[in-house]
Amino acid sequence: MNSFLDFSNDADRYAVFNDGAATIFAKNNTWDGSTASTIAKEIYDKTDNASKGEVIFQPFIPLGDNEAPQMAVIFPNGGETLLLGKTANLRWYVHDNVGVAKIDVALSRDAGQIFQPLTSFTTQQDEYIWTVTGPFSSRCILKVTGRDAAGNERFDVSDNFFAIVDSSSGINYPPSIPLPLRPLAGEEMRGSDLLIWQASVDLNPFDEIRYRLEIDNNANFSSPELVEDNIDSSRTGNLPQNVKLASPLAGRAVIAVRLDRLSGFANLQDDVNYYWRLRAKDKQNTTSAFSDGTARFFMNKTNTPPQAVMSGFSPVNNLEVRAARPTISWQAANDPDPSDPADVLRYLLQMDDDGEFVTDVAIAAQTNAGVTFHIPTQNLSENMRWSYRVQASDDENATSPWSTVQSFFVNAIKEPPKLFEILAPAPIFTSRSDTVIFRWRATTDPDPFDSLRYVVEWSTDSLFATANRLSFKATTTQTAFARPPRVDQIFWRLFAVDSDSLTTFASNSQQQPRRIRWITAVAAQESNLPTEFSLAQNHPNPFNPETTIEFSLPQPSEVKVEIFDMLGKHVRTLVSGRQPAGRYAVIWDGRDENGQIVSSGIFIYQLRADKFVQSRKMLLLQ
């Protein structure tokens, strides 16, 4: 080892001179603020090379050191009594990866509000012999702070209060007021849960403390439901480690009792709020005051399930919903247990399209906690009546009764009335009566709440340039149509229209309007009646699109006027039935019995009246 003589600063390095001929250079060491004697005491030559060795000064500070010293107060750590004028060995544990540069020791006599210095050390120390001084206090706390050379520091304090007393006074001091720790603000408690409080401190050495516990449903404690005396510190053993760590004074001296181990536990009622307070008593029966009595808890001996959801349902009352995936919502259920507020409850939603939930359920969905709505992940069946109900459950899976069943209809798509047909008259109809009966089958609208009506639309031209309309309610399926004055034929069609103004035409009558022709008697007076049966030549001839055929009846007869093609195939019947004597004219529009326009060509029209039969030819040019 080289002997230290002196040191000097040369730019980025420190030169350390030894008693040899060469110089040893010490680099990258922090010597600021250190005295020459301190460095001389701690420096050594790592390689023991007289000319170019590596000089190390301890404590050496690694670059980037940010680790604070480890600290722990050992004595007094809570519950001890120090006697005035006597010596006390204050002890602590301290360790640092580089080394401790300073230790500060301080004392508080007011529960940690103000700390007054007792002593300091600039070297590693783990104890201090202190002659105890006043003033007296039962709420003392020791604080020890360790700091390393990099400036990192950490402190620790006594885990609980200790006392400084005068043993020569002969005075019996009352214990301090016990401090409730948990529960404090209405927390839910089961029988297996703990009442926890901070232990009292007695200024008299070796005094023993017992506690009186009162629990009442009134804050004035006029008639407590539970009173337990002589609770001692042996109950501390009942405190689980996880409760210790969670308590407001972690690790400090506390007393803990299980509610169901108290003799009066049976007097506590389920689902009731209770207040609790404590009083300490020493061996001389000197008592502290009661704690302030504001600590309270909710007694929940058994978990109560949520109540059924009662209101807030949407949609309801068979409402029509214009969405395939409507939002189903409800008001939060009520749970009597305070630990089960609305944001804890979950809900099971069941939906069905047949109104019963026994044999099958179309949709079942579980919400997250606190969620009071559900949006289906698939489209609901259109034009269906959907029913749903909900059931609440708490965090212990206790379930409520099912809610009442609610219903609604899905009508996401506006649809027209269903197809329907005309029953009478035929698509091409010739009438000898001025009144024609229109008949059709009833139809319905797929949309559940849409109303409909029927409309008969007629015109004297097939394009309906000028149209007339007759409207009928949904229950009507026939009407008597009166021949308009001075009109020999009309075109007509029938449609149903719903409340969305969507229409459906019966029997495709929009594309193929129907036609009614009226047969007109030419002669009205008996003296002008024909004297013989006759069938006149049609006019015009050739024709397009229609022609008039006239015939005469000298007497009432069973009459049939028919049209055939040149092969003798029946094309159309224009008149069929018994007719009075007179002269008649009918019109053929070049269509067959199905209303289809026939091709150009020569056609035969024939009159049969009783035993009279006569035929003629006519030419249709399309």
Residues 230-239: pLDDT tens digits? 888 665 544 5
For residues 338 and 334, give the distance between their C-alpha atoms in angstroms, rounded to a whole number.
10
In this prediction the pTM is 0.48
Report the alpha-carbon distance of residue 72 to residue 82 in Å, rounded: 20
Positions of the chain with pLDDT under 70: 1-64, 167-170, 205-206, 233-252, 520-527
Fold match flag (70-165 vs 520-620): yes
Q: How many residues does the chain have?
A: 622
Residue located via tokens 């212990």: 396
Which CATH topology does 179-299 take? Immunoglobulin-like (2.60.40)
**CATH classification of 70-165, choosing from 3.40.190.10, 3.40.50.1220, 1.10.579.10, 2.60.40.10?**
2.60.40.10
Q: In what order do the strands lie in the sheet with 612-620?
A: 570-579, 557-565, 601-609, 612-620
Q: Buried (b) or exposed (e) across 143-169, using 16+ Cβ within 10 A?
A: bbbbbbbbebbbbbbbbbbbbbbbeee
Q: How far is Cα 296 from Cα 195, in angstroms, rounded to an integer?
A: 10
> Residue 414: what pLDDT?
92
Under CATH, what is the fold of the domain 520-620?
Answer: Immunoglobulin-like (2.60.40)
CATH fold label, 305-412? Immunoglobulin-like (2.60.40)
pLDDT value of residue 50:
44
How far is it, in rounded angstroms, from Cα 347 to Cα 56? 71
CATH of 422-518, one of 2.10.109.10, 3.30.70.330, 3.50.50.60, 2.60.40.10: 2.60.40.10
In this structure, what token pair is assigned to residue 223? 């008639």
Residues 6+ apart with CB under 8 A from 560: 573, 575, 576, 607, 608
**Residue ranges per domain, the chain?**
6-57, 70-165, 179-299, 305-412, 422-518, 520-620
